[in-house]
Structure 1
Amino acid sequence: MEFDLASQPEIVQQAVDYALQAWDLAKSWALSPAAWSQFALLIVAYLLAVVAARRLRGFLTRVLTPAPEADSYLAQGRRAALLTLPLLLPLLAYLFTAIGESVVRSVFDSGAVIAFGKRVFLFLAVRTLVREIIKDPFLNLLGRYVLIPVAALYAVGLLDPLIGKLNELTISLGNISFTVMSLVRGVIAGGVLFWLGGWSNRQTTQFIENQKDMRPSLRQLTAKVLEFTIFGIAFLLLLNIMGINLSALAVIGGAIGVGLGFGLQKIASNFISGVILLIEGQATVGDFVELDGGESGQIVKMTARAAILETFDGRWIVVPNEDFITTRVVNYSDSGSANRYEAPFSVSYDTDINLVPGIIEAAVSTHPDVLDTPFPPDCELRGFGDSGIDFAVEFWVNGIDDGANKYTSDVLFLIWNALKDHDIEIPYPQRVVELKGSLPQVQG
C-alpha cells in the first residue's frame, strides 16, 4: 500500500508513516501463530487475575480491617492498605502476563504481543491508582495530567522516542545549560518533592507541638529549623535531579548575598531577631504583650519576619521581630504567670473601718479565679476623700483582665454585695454650702 504524499506537510507524512507501520504490525500479529498464542495467554492471565483478585480481596479485607475504635499507627496503616485493594486485579494481571511472556519468549523467541498486553495492564493499574486511590488534590492533579499520559505513552511504545527527542533539545541560561527533558523531570520531581516537604513538615510540626515538656519558644524554634531543613534538602535534591551543577550557582549565590547586604537588611534583621526571640523565650505564642508605642495584644503567630498580635477587639497587629529586641516591650505572660490587679471603692465616714478589710478580703477570695499565691487578696486603706473613706483591694489572677475575662468587674460586684450584706454604706458625693448674710425675703 503506497501513497504519493510528496506534496503533503511533513507532519502528515510522519503520521501516515506511523499508521502504515501499525497496519503492518497488526497484519503480522493477525497472521502469526505465535501472536495468537500470546493473545490466548493474555486472556488466560486476565481470567486468572480475576479469580485470584476476588479471593484475595475477601481475605485481605478480613485481615486488614481494624476495630472501629482503634486509632493507633498500625490501625491507620491497615486502613490505608485497604484503600489499595482496587489495584489487585490489574497488578495480578500484569504479574501473570509477565510470567506468560517469559514462557512465550522461551518457546517462540518472540513476545511483542504479550509484552504490549503487559504494558496495557500496567496502564490500567496506574489509572486505577489515580482515579480511585489518590485523594490528595495536588497528587491527583499530577496523576491525571502527568502519570496517566506517561503510562499511556509507555503502553503504546512511544515513551522512549519522546524522551530521546526531549533529551536532544538544550536550554542555556548563562553558564547553566540543561535539556528540555531535565526541565520536565524537574517540574514533576519538584512538585512531588515540595509536596512531600510540606507533608513531612506538617507531621513533624504536629509531633513537636505535642511535646508539652518543651518550652513553647523551643517548640517554635525546632519547628522552624526543621521546616527550613526539609525544604532546603528538597531544593538540593531538585537541582540534582535536573542535572544542574551546584558549582554553577556560585554566581547566583553571590548576587543574592549582595542583595541581602544592601536591599534586604531589614528582612535579615527581623529573621535573626525572630531566631533570638525563639531561643530566649522572651515572647512566644500565647503571651500578652504591650509595645512601647501603646499597642497591646496576644501573640497568636510568630513568623520568620514578624509576630502577629490579636487585640481584644479582634484586630491583628503585625509587629516586626526587630521591635521586640530594640524597643521596650511589657510581657504580661498570659500563657501562665500571674498578674495583679486592684479594685477601688469607698465607704461612708460612719463606718467602722477596722471591719472593712476582713469583710472584703473574705468576699474577694470566693472568686474562683482569684489566687492565694503569690499573695491572697489584700484590702488597703488608701485615703480620706471628700465624700468617703477610700479603699482598694489587690488580687492576683492568671491571665489578663480584658477580653473574655472581666476580673475587676466581678470583684466589684463581690464588694458591692458584701458591703450591702453588712449594712455598710457606699457614700454619695456630698458638698457643704455656707450662705453668708440673711436670706432674701420673698414678697407675696
Structure 2
Amino acid sequence: MESNPFVQKMIGYGEQGVELALSWLTSPAAWSQFMLLVVAFGLAWFLNRRLNKVFLRVLTPPEEAVGLVSTVRRFVLQFLPLLLPLLAYVFTAAGEQVVRSLFDSGAVIAFGKRVFLFLAARILVRRIISEPFLKLLGKFVLIPVAALYALGMLDVATSALTDFQVGVGNISFSLMAIVRGVIAGAILFWLGRWSNDHSAAMIRKQEDLRPATRQLAAKAIEITIFGAAFLLLMNIMGVNLASLAVLGGAIGVGLGFGLQKIASNFISGVILLLEGQATVGDFVELDGGEAGTIVKMTARAIILETYDGRWIVVPNEDFIVTRVVNYSDQGSANRYEAEFSVSYDTDINAVPAIVEAAVQSHPDVLMKPYPADCELRGFGESGIDFSVEFWVNGIDDGRHKYTSDVLFLIWNALKDNDIKIPYPHRVVEFKGEMPK
C-alpha cells in the first residue's frame, strides 16, 4: 500500500535531520562551533548582568514623574529582557566569521544564531507584549515562524504554501498569499483601529469645532484609514484590483436591492453630520414618541439614552423623513414654568417681585434671553393663580430638577414674607334638621 506523499516527505526530513546531527557529533569543526556558542552565551550572560544594573539605574524614572521623557524611559525598560539573547546573537555572529575562515564551515554556529533569535521572539511575546491582540498574534504567528526559521524549515514551508493554489472565479490565490493576507490584514486593521481611536480622541479635544463637525471629521478619518488598509491588504495579497472591481460590481448590483435601507441610513447619517442639526449630547424627541439624549452616532443609526437608563436605536433615516424636536442643540436655553397660588387676602402686587428674586437666585436660572418672569394667571376657587417662567440650559429631567428646585424657592420665599399658600375649602349646607 502506497504511503501518503506528505508523510513520506516528513520522514525524509527526519532522516536528514538525524544524519546532520550524527555528522555534527563526529566533526571537530562542529565541536569547535559548539564551544564557541557556549562561550558566546556565557559572555552574553556575564555582560547582561552588568548592563542590566546600569540600565535600571539610569533609565528608571521617579515614580511620580509623568512627562514625555519618563514615558520613553519606562517604555525602553520593558525591553531589557531581550538584552541576553541579542547579546548572544551578536557575539555568535562575530565568532562566525572566525570559524568560517578556519574550518570553511559554519552550519552549527548559524543554527545557534537562529536559536538565539527564537529565544528573543519567545521572550518578546511572553514577557514584553501586553496588548491582547498582539500577544495572540505573536503566540500563533511569530513564535511558529521563528521556530521554523531556527530549524531551517522556513523556506520549505513557504515553498509548499506557495505551490498550493486556491481559485475563486477568475481570481486565484496561493495558500501563502492567504496566510500572508490574514496576518497582514490582522496587523493592518489593528493599526487602523488604534490610529482611528487616537485620531478621534484628538479631534474630540478640539472644542473650537462644532460637535457635528468633530463627528464628521472622525468619520472621514475612519473611512480613509480603513479604505487605505483594505487597498494595501489587496496589494500585499497580490490581488488584481481590476478583477476585484468586476467581481465587486456584480456583487454590488445583487446586494444593492437587498441593502437599500442600509444605504439610505448611511447617506442620512452623512447628511446629519454635514448639517449638524443633531449631534451627540442633544436631547431630541421624534414624531414616533422616541425621546432621549444622543449618546452615539453610527453609520446606520443614532442611539438615544432615556432618563430611565434605556437605549433606543433609531435609524438615521428617521431623523431625515420625520419631524424631530431638538430641546438642547448643545447648549441652547429652554423655558419652563412653575405654577403656584396665594390666598385671596394677599397683596398680589408684591408677589411678582418676591417670587422673581427668589427664582433668579437659583444658580442655573439664566438672565438671557429673559430673566425670571412672574405672571398672574387667574382667580381660582381657592386662591389666586400665578405662574413663573424661567430659562435654563438643559432639560428639566434626569439629573436636573429645575422645576422642583424653583418650587422649593417659591415656597420658602412666600413663607418668609408671611404669604399663605391656600388649600381647597368646601362649605356644606344642610337643609332641614342636622343629621344625627
Fold agreement, TM-score > 0.5: yes
Does the alignment pair 1:311 with 2:298? no
Question: Which ranges of structure 1 fall in alignment gaps of 5 or more residues?
Answer: 1-5
Instruction: Name the structure 2 match of 1:151.
Output: 146
2:368 paired with 1:373 = yes
Change (3 A) 1:441 1:165: closer
**Percent identity, aligned pairs only?**
70
- 1:57-94 Cα distance to aligned partner (Å, 9 max, x none): 22222332223223234332221211111000001111
403, 408, 414: which one pairs with 1:408? 403
Question: Could you tell me which amino acid in structure 1 is paired with residue 253 of structure 2?
Answer: V
Give the distance between the partners of 2:247 and 2:23, measured in 1 at CA: 57
Question: How far apart, in 2, do the equivalents of 1:159 and 1:341 lie?
Answer: 74
Identify the residue that residue 432 of structure 2 maps to in structure 1. 440
State yes or no: 1:66 paired with 2:61. yes
> 1:334: Cα distance to partner?
6.3
**Are 2:248 and 1:253 equivalent residues in the alignment?**
yes
Question: In the TM superposition, what are the counterparts of 1:291-330 in structure 2 within 5 Å?
Answer: 291-330=286-325
Partner of 1:392: 387
Secondary structure at 1:319 match in 2: strand
1:55 aligns with 2:47: no
Deviations 1:14-61 (A, max 9, x none): 444333322322232223222222112111211221122222222222
Question: CA–CA distance in 2 between the matches of 1:260 and 1:60?
Answer: 59
The match for 1:100 is: 95
Instruction: Single out whichever of 81-90 and 209-218 deviates more from structure 2.
Output: 209-218
The alpha carbon displacement at 1:432 in A equals 6.3
Q: Is the 8 A contact 1:334 1:400 kept in 2?
A: no
Give secondary structure in 2 for the equivalent of 1:376.
Answer: coil
User: Following the alignment from structure 2 to structure 1, what is the Cα–Cα distance between the partners of residues 321 and 10?
Assistant: 71
**Candidates 18, 21, 26, aligned match of 2:21:** 26
Aligned with residue 180 of structure 2, among 185, 189, 197: 185
- Secondary structure, counterpart of 1:392 in structure 2: strand
1:110 is paired with a residue whose SS is: coil
Given that 2:278 and 2:329 are in contact with CA atoms closer than 8 Å, whether structure 1 keeps it comes out as: no
- 2:416 is matched with 421
Measure, in 2, the Cα distance between the counterparts of 1:318 and 1:359. Answer: 46
CA RMSD in angstroms comes to: 2.1
Alignment size in residue pairs: 436
Q: In structure 2, how many angstroms separate the alpha carbons of the residues matched to 1:102 and 1:109?
A: 10
* Structure 2: distance between partners of 1:356 and 1:144: 77
Q: 2:189 aligns with which of 185, 194, 199?
A: 194
What secondary structure does 1:184 align onto? helix
Q: Is the 8 A contact 1:334 1:399 kept in 2?
A: no
Task: Give the residue type in structure 1 aligned to 2:121.
Answer: V
Q: For residues 423 and 13 of structure 1, do their structure 2 counterparts lie closer, same or farther at Cα, with a shift above 3 Å needed?
A: closer
Counterpart for residue 264 of structure 1: 259
Q: CA deviation at 1:12?
A: 5.7
Alignment partner, residue 331 of structure 1: 326
Moved more, 333-342 or 391-400: 333-342
Amino acid of the structure 1 residue aligned with 2:162:
N
Q: Structure 1 residues 240-249 or 29-38, which shifts more?
A: 29-38
**Does structure 2 retain, via aligned residues, the 8 Å contact 1:260–1:268?**
no
Who is 2:343 aligned against? 348
Superposition pairs of residues 191-230 of structure 1, within 5 angstroms: 191-230=186-225
Is the 8 Å Cα contact of residues 296 and 309 (structure 1) preserved in structure 2?
yes
Name the amino acid aligned to 2:328.
S
> Residues 16, 178 of structure 1: CA spacing in aligned structure 2 closer, same or farther, 3 A cutoff?
closer
Distance change >3 Å, CA 68–CA 434, structure 1 → 2: same
Query: Match of 1:364?
Result: 359
Farther off after superposition, 102-111 or 178-187:
102-111
Q: Unaligned regions of 5+ residues in structure 2, if any?
A: none
